[in-house]
Amino acid sequence: MGMLEGQVVIVTGGAGGIGSAYCRGLASEGASLVVADLVDGSEMVAEAEELGARAVSVHVDVSDAASTEAMAKAAHDAFGKIDALVNNAAFYLSITQGPMEDIPPDEWDLCFAVNVKGSWLCARAVSPYMRAQGSGKIVNIASMTVNDGTPGFLHYVASKAAIWGLTRSLARELGNSGISVNTLTPDYIPHDAEYAAKQPGVDELITARRAFKRTQVPDDMVGTLLYLVSPWSDFVTGQNIWVNGGSGFH
């Protein structure tokens, strides 16, 4: 029996990238999954079912309040409760890279709408269900680029810095309802060719400075994510956990 048997977990952006690794890990531990994404999550659902888990795919645009409320309702309708939310969806892949003068102001707004407002809206949408049951776990995803002050996509880095503030204040606001809120911070994970092509040469540089000298892969994130949604982390809230193979010590 998996350690998350009977737990209902929503993963935004769960249809692809690192989100699908989270979904596989959660399904393997027996969680019931809500794969919430802008794109179709039915392949992920089929995979989760093959792993023996219950799963549904829900279309969501995390930057839209009504859409996030419909996501939470769909999750509750499907499984009767919501134990955890993984705020993993993000705007990055189609981002403009270059000096800050070249960032289109509308793209800045979109980046914050998805990465920051989206994380808030999803937390806001699940909170009535979690408050009613007196428990819940919310995991927000930041980025090592915040520590590094990585240049070349200021809007993304600034949006991920906001995640730390969101986590800390939310943890205090929701703590009296038994809901934990934590941040999980990955380093650079070039999980497919499109990702790697966006920042050529970066993986080699980052790998060289790590204690563990290899490329980070999505599966490297899964154990810590499982910990943060499991009872093993029940007294952990408002915290940030870096999973980066020792690329920096903070």
Ligand X SMILES: NC(=O)c1ccc[n+]([C@@H]2O[C@H](COP(=O)([O-])OP(=O)(O)OC[C@H]3O[C@@H](n4cnc5c(N)ncnc54)[C@H](O)[C@@H]3O)[C@@H](O)[C@H]2O)c1
Site residues, ligand X (CB under 6 A): 12-13, 15-19, 37-39, 60-63, 88-93, 114, 118, 141, 143, 186, 188-189, 191, 195
Secondary-structure percent of the chain, ordered helix, strand, coil, rounded to 5: 50, 15, 35
Question: Which of 2/89 has CB closer to ligand X?
Answer: 89
Q: Are 169 and 155 in contact (CB under 8 A)?
A: no
Q: For residue 101, how many other CB atoms are within 10 A of its CB?
A: 6
Which of 200, 43, 34, 210 has its CA nearest to residue 129?
34
The residues with which 183 forms a beta bridge, in sequence order, are: 140, 240
Q: Which residue is nearest to ligand X (CB)?
A: 17
Cβ 146 to ligand X shortest distance, Å: 9
| Residues with active-site annotation | 156
Amino acid at 244: N
Cβ 190 to ligand X shortest distance, Å: 6
Q: How many residues does the chain have?
A: 250
Question: Which of 2/218 has CB closer to ligand X?
Answer: 218
Question: Which of 149/176 has CB closer to ligand X?
Answer: 149
Distance, in Å, from the CA atom of 44 to the CA atom of 82, rounded to the nearest integer, reads 19
Cβ 186 to ligand X shortest distance, Å: 4
Question: Which of 2/118 has CB closer to ligand X?
Answer: 118
Cβ 235 to ligand X shortest distance, Å: 25
